[in-house]
Amino acid sequence: MSAAAEIANIGRRVTKGAEKWSRALPNFNAKTNTKRIVIDESHFKPMGTWSAEKIQQSRVENPHMQTWTPGSARHNLPVITHGEGSYLYDINGKQYLDWTSQAVCTNLGHDVPESVVQAASQQMRQLPFVYGGMGMTEVRTRLNQLMGEILPGDLRAGVFPCTGAEANEIGITMARRFTGKKKVISWYRSYHGGTAHASAATGDSRRWFAADEVPGFVKAFNPFPLFFNHAGENKQEQVESSLRMLEEQILNEGPDNIASIMTESIVGAGGVLIFPDGYMQGVRALCDKYGILMHIDEVMCGFGRTGTMFGFQNYEGVMPDIMTAAKGISSAVIPLSMTACTPEIMEHFENTSIGMGSTYQAHPVALACAYENLKYILDTDLIGHVEKMAPIFEYYMRRLAEDHPCIKQYRAIGIFGCFDVEEIEGTNPRLQHEAATEAFAKYAKSFSDNGLIGLHRFPHLHCAPPLNISEEDLVEGFNRLDRSLDTLDEAMGFTQKR
């Protein structure tokens, strides 16, 4: 046999060695996936008939998870049975004044206008659901027109998803697809939602849980750093310094890479931070200079919270390219949000998709509730009422700040305010990601004992009661808060009021 033939034979023998190797599949550990369903007969009793003991037993035997708090926190939550005006009542009859409109969303308190109830009922009977990509409804057309009449400038309502986070997701996607650029600049002191991109745009510590690895998001310092001041002898010079810092960051990130600058009109969860004169105008000017979209998040402030229809209207001449809203659009009666944009952006998507959607976008029942809610806000001049209450609100904010030594300072706009707590040494008692101190735990108990219910984001103490609150109830709320702050003063070692 020739050498060539020998080599060929060797090759053929080698390929035979590639036959399969024996390998056993893993054992399947079968688990029972069937269940005989046995329903507690008490499920068929009317709502409101379960006793406190029955509810507590069910909570222990059928645990559920919380979101921003550990699951065990559910055991300390009051069982709320009903609401009237600005008040809530628990199963034991205890009354609470809703001091933060729940999550700054129950803007009309806890009496739903009858027109909203009827609209929801009628829509459920007539057409409970149609997928937004398969059919158009009259209520969507009506709400879209109404929003066009409400929104300032040339802003137009684009889409109506369910939550503020979803609205921001769509706003971010919209900016990226419209500009062809990827980066989004937002502030360290900010919150935009708990979904992937909204959380990545968030600056506070909640983004650490799941969004720090999401690419394309850049954090900047707005005019409110915690432990330093921007250079300058006065507020105007500090604003200019802050804007120069932002411009340098834009240049270092590359203007051709930046789709949008994203900001709340008033930084809400971060402490009701009201931008100083000239700052928002400066951000708008930088966006115009470098071809960057300005995305303003109105999820918390929209529809009257600050005494204007939208928070950005507090800054003369400032108009966003993209605006997102939620909460107040339905006064929390049912989940709904909105992403609005300029006609230029809307026209861009006439022949291409935004690139994001959801099953319940433009849900007809939610649209019906929002439609009647917004008409009610306009018919009753709710914003005029906020303007009337705002000086009273700020008077009591200032008085409590002056009376309680644990309070470093306050901010207030419309019916939206926040106190900053300080220690005896004048230092910050807690960063938001740190566990609450014993002093704050005592304050939270006193807050509840004094008949208040609301969000706690220590060391910030938020004040944001329903927008239609009466003067009598507003004063009552501040009196209850005053007594709670006495507890905080003492717990932090301050011996007497100022």
Domain boundary among 338, 357, 379: 379
Output the CA angle 312-315-319, nearest 5 degrees: 55
3-state helix, strand, coil in the chain (%, to 5): 40, 15, 45
486 and 358 share a domain? no
pLDDT of residue 6: 62
Distance CA 476, CA 490 (A): 22
Give the mean model confidence (pLDDT) for residues 444-449: 97
Look at residue 1 and tell me whether its pLDDT is greater than 80: no
Both tokens assigned to 384? 């005029």
Measure the CA angle with vertex 319, ends 315 and 325; round to 5°: 90
Which residue, 355, 379, 403, sits at the end of a domain? 379
Residue 4, in any domain of the structure: no
Give the residue-averaged pLDDT of 234-239.
92
Same domain assignment for residues 245 and 306: yes
Do 339 and 322 reside in the same domain of the chain?
yes
Q: Give the rounded percent of residues in the chain with a pLDDT score beyond 70.
A: 96
Q: Are residues 428 and 292 in the same domain?
A: no
Q: Are residues 176 and 244 in the same domain?
A: yes
Does 420 lie in the same domain as 392? yes
Residue 432's domain is classified under what CATH number?
A: 3.90.1150.10
Q: How far is CA 296 from the centre of its chain?
A: 13
Which residue would you say has higher pLDDT here, 326 or 497?
Answer: 326
pLDDT digits (tens, 9 = 90+) for 469-494: 999 999 999 999 999 999 999 999 99
Q: Is residue 247 part of a domain?
A: yes
Which of 379, 414, 432 terminates a domain? The answer is 379
351 & 410 share domain: no
Q: Looking at residue 71, what is its pLDDT?
A: 82
Task: Measure Cα distances from 248 to 188, 245, 435 in Å.
Answer: 17, 5, 36
Distance from C-alpha of 283 to C-alpha of 439, rounded to nearest angstrom: 39
Q: Do the domain assignments include residue 49? A: no
- Please provide the average confidence, as pLDDT, over all residues in the chain: 93
Number of CB atoms found within 10 A of residue 242's CB: 26
pLDDT digits (tens, 9 = 90+) for 267-321: 999 999 999 999 999 999 999 999 999 999 999 999 999 999 999 999 999 999 9
Identify whether residues 94 and 224 lie together within a single domain: no
Contact 426, 479 (CB under 8 A): no
- pLDDT above 80 for 430: no
Q: Are residues 365 and 406 in the same domain?
A: no
Under 8 Å between Cβ of 101 and 107? yes
Residues 6+ apart with CB under 8 A from 100: 454, 455, 462, 463, 464, 465
pLDDT at residue 288 in the model: 98
In a domain, 42, yes or no: no
Could you tell me the CATH number of the domain that includes residue 263?
3.40.640.10
CA distance 336 to 361: 8
Total number of domains constituting the chain: 2
Residue 250 has pLDDT above 60, yes or no: yes
Residue type for 319, please? Answer: M
Please check whether residues 329 and 193 belong to one and the same domain: yes
pLDDT at 5: 61
Round to whole Å and give the CA distance between 465 and 454.
9
* Segments forming the whole domain that contains residue 207: 127-379
Residues 181 and 97 in one domain: no
b/e sequence 489-498, b meaning 16+ C-beta within 10 Å: bbbbebeeee
- How far is CA 2 from each of CA 8, 11, 16, rounded to the nearest angstrom? 10, 14, 22
Global pTM reads 0.92
Contact 324, 299 (CB under 8 A): yes
Q: Which residue has the higher pLDDT, 85 or 3?
A: 85
- Do 363 and 420 share a structural domain? no
Task: Classify 89 as helix, strand or coil.
Answer: strand
Pinpoint the alpha helices (H) of 332-461: 343-348, 364-379, 382-403, 438-449
- Residue 229 forms part of a structural domain: yes
* Residue 362 confidence (pLDDT) above 60: yes
231 within domain boundaries: yes
Query: pLDDT: is 233 or 385 the higher one?
Result: 385
Residue 277, in any domain of the structure:
yes
Q: Is residue 342 situated within a structural domain?
A: yes
